[in-house]
Amino acid sequence: MPLYSSEHRRLTEFYHPEKHEEFSGLLSSLGEYMEKELSPLSPRFDTGEAKMGPARKGLLGQGICQISVPAEYGGLGLPFSLYANAIEMLGTSDASTALSVEIHNAVIEGLLKFGSPAQKKESVQALASGERLASFCLTEPTSGSDSRAMATSAVRDGGDYVIDGSKMFITNAGEADTYMVFARTAKGPSCLLVGAPNPGLKFGADIRKLGMRGSRTSEVSFSGCRTPAANLVGEEGKGADYAHSILHGARIVVAALNVGIARLAYEKSIAYAKERKAFGEPIAGFQLIREKIADMKTSISAARLLYLHAALLRERGLDYASEASQAKVFATEMSLKVCDDAIQIHGGYGYTTDDLHRHWRDARLLTIGEGTSEVLRMLIASRELAKSL
Ligand SMILES: Cc1cc2nc3c(=O)[nH]c(=O)nc-3n(C[C@H](O)[C@H](O)[C@H](O)COP(=O)(O)OP(=O)(O)OC[C@H]3O[C@@H](n4cnc5c(N)ncnc54)[C@H](O)[C@@H]3O)c2cc1C
């Protein structure tokens, strides 16, 4: 089935009736590119036989991160839901690349929301076109969910800030040219840009992971790392609020990514269930297998609608923090269940075939990254309890 399927096309028609041909054309050509250039490499990224860097550069060059960037910064100025749809396709094509691109785009989002006109002019176009790659540095060795407890410091010294400390589990570390760093200044958590290379910036070894093995993750250390004061994003002391705001948008995208992963595991399960025989007939004929197929499909469709709903609220300028978290919690847990069911349908081959269980391994990250399920349930509950019925 093409990455941009007839089901996607129907949803585009439904949500964007006036522009569906233009939008479908864009998504379908991006999908064709991913299928041709990226999907065949995906199993090889997992085993380490191929490196994702050149493929990611090629994909960014196709404009995936320009979709929802305003035209004045070299973007297409199109709805955010189309970008989320593109990331869903990318999750199906290669989850590691989707993770790397999603983090890169979170930095673009941060600059668009909080950056100065000069920072936007200088960085957004180069990042959105893929000429430069970005990394988002919030988590530290001793603080993740409790990001306000960050220990990394940034002290003003003449025309610079001097950053000291370290960040943990950073995606695109060592590959990126632009680092969005959250560090404590005199007024509290703040957000700064650091360009690479920089003599005060060091990277740890690539951390070995359960899944998402194509994407690079490492510690980033700052030792007397100087960055010009003009690289402060927004105001001092507002960094934690900026990080939370950026992450609300990123959660919609992570939900889409998980729908993409689940779709691939589901489609592999359909193909296998039709081909594999037991007791003289294809296992697709057995009711208990059919029940799994029905539940997998239903939950994928539900997660897709949840992320689209959050994206549409955002496009209309409405509050979407709770809905983005709902979409992320549901989609990430859904994709784990779908990938687990896919392993069950494949029997012993499911447990032993890298190219099948890697989907579960990839999905496993995302109930943790960008807000754990526990923390997001707290966010949803506090937002919902604060509403009057
Ligand atoms: C592969 C990978 C890539 C990553 N990429 C990036 C990146 O690019 N940039 C970045 O900044 N970070 C990144 N991260 C970090 C990720 O965002 C954090 O791991 C995540 O936010 C959780 O933080 P933590 O690991 O410190 O866990 P902790 O915050 O220590 O949480 C541990 C457990 O306690 C639970 N918990 C915490 N507080 C509460 C509470 N109040 N109530 C109930 N339960 C609670 C959590 O839900 C979790 O189950 C990445 C992580 C990984 C593994």
DSSP 93-111: H-HHHHHHHHHHHHHHHHH
Distance CA 286, CA 59 (A): 41
Distance (angstroms) between ligand 1 centre and the Cα of 6 equals 36
- Residue pair 84/15 in contact (Cβ under 8 Å)? The answer is no
Backbone angles phi, psi at 2, to 5 degrees: -60, 150
List the residue whose alpha carbon is closest to atom 2 of ligand 1.
169
**Residues contacting residue 337 through CB under 8 Å, at least 6 positions apart:** 299
Distance (angstroms) between ligand 1 centre and the Cα of 108 equals 22
Structure tokens at 298: 């239903």
Distance (angstroms) between ligand 1 centre and the Cα of 214 equals 20
Distance (angstroms) between ligand 1 centre and the Cα of 168 equals 10
**pLDDT tens, residue by residue, 150-198:** 999 999 999 999 999 999 999 999 999 999 999 999 999 999 999 999 9
Does position 41 have pLDDT exceeding 80, yes or no? yes
Distance CA 355, CA 333 (A): 20
Select from 97, 247, 368, 373 the residue to mutate for testing ligand 1; criterion: most ligand atoms less than 8 Å from CB: 368
List the residue whose alpha carbon is closest to atom 27 of ligand 1.
144
291 φψ region: left (φ > 0), alpha (ψ -120 to 50), beta (else): alpha
**Which of 69, 170, 178 lies closest to 123 in space, CA to CA?**
178
List the residue whose alpha carbon is closest to atom 26 of ligand 1.
144
3-class secondary-structure state, position 217: strand
What mean pLDDT comes out for the span 226-235? Answer: 98
Name residues contacting ligand 1 (CB within 6 A): 103, 136-139, 144-145, 169-171, 209, 212, 217, 365, 368-370, 372, 374-375
Residue 267: Cβ-neighbour burial (10 angstroms; 0-12, 13-18, 19+): middle
Distance separating the N- and C-terminal Cα atoms of the chain: 44
3-class secondary-structure state, position 116: coil
| Position in ligand 1 atom list of the atom nearest CA 103 | 8
**pLDDT bucket at 338, cuts 50 / 70 / 90:** very high
CA dist 252 → 89, 302, 308 (Å): 14, 14, 8
pLDDT value of position 38: 98
Does position 318 have pLDDT exceeding 80, yes or no? yes
| Position in ligand 1 atom list of the atom nearest CA 182 | 11
List the residue whose alpha carbon is closest to atom 7 of ligand 1.
170
Distance (angstroms) between ligand 1 centre and the Cα of 111 equals 23
List the residue whose alpha carbon is closest to atom 52 of ligand 1.
169
Residue 282: strand pairing partners: 277
What mean pLDDT comes out for the span 17-27? Answer: 97
Does position 129 have pLDDT exceeding 80, yes or no? yes
Under DSSP, the state recorded for 192 is E
Please give the domain boundaries of the chain with CATH numbers for all domains.
6-128 (1.10.540.10), 134-237 (2.40.110.10), 240-386 (1.20.140.10)
CA dist 162 → 143, 153, 154 (Å): 21, 8, 5
What mean pLDDT comes out for the span 207-227? Answer: 98
Active site residues: 370
Does position 96 have pLDDT exceeding 80, yes or no? yes
Does position 278 have pLDDT exceeding 90, yes or no? yes
Q: What is the mean pLDDT of the chain?
A: 97
Torsion on CA atoms 339, 88, 92, 299, rounded to nearest 10: 30
> Which single residue is written with the structure tokens 């690289």?
231
Apex CA 303: angle with CA 7 and CA 291, to 5°?
80
What mean pLDDT comes out for the span 203-221? Answer: 98
E strands, the chain, are 134-137, 153-157, 160-171, 178-185, 188-195, 201-203, 217-228, 232-233, 277-278, 281-282
| Position in ligand 1 atom list of the atom nearest CA 171 | 8
**pLDDT bucket at 247, cuts 50 / 70 / 90:** very high
Select from 139, 175, 220 the residue to mutate for testing ligand 1; criterion: most ligand atoms less than 8 Å from CB: 139
Distance CA 68, CA 72 (A): 12
pLDDT value of position 190: 98
Percentage of the chain exceeding pLDDT 90: 99
CA dist 297 → 199, 233, 290, 350 (Å): 51, 43, 11, 19
DSSP string, 67-86: TTS-GGGT-----HHHHHHH
**Which of 334, 338, 330, 369 lies closest to 356 in space, CA to CA?**
338
**pLDDT bucket at 389, cuts 50 / 70 / 90:** confident
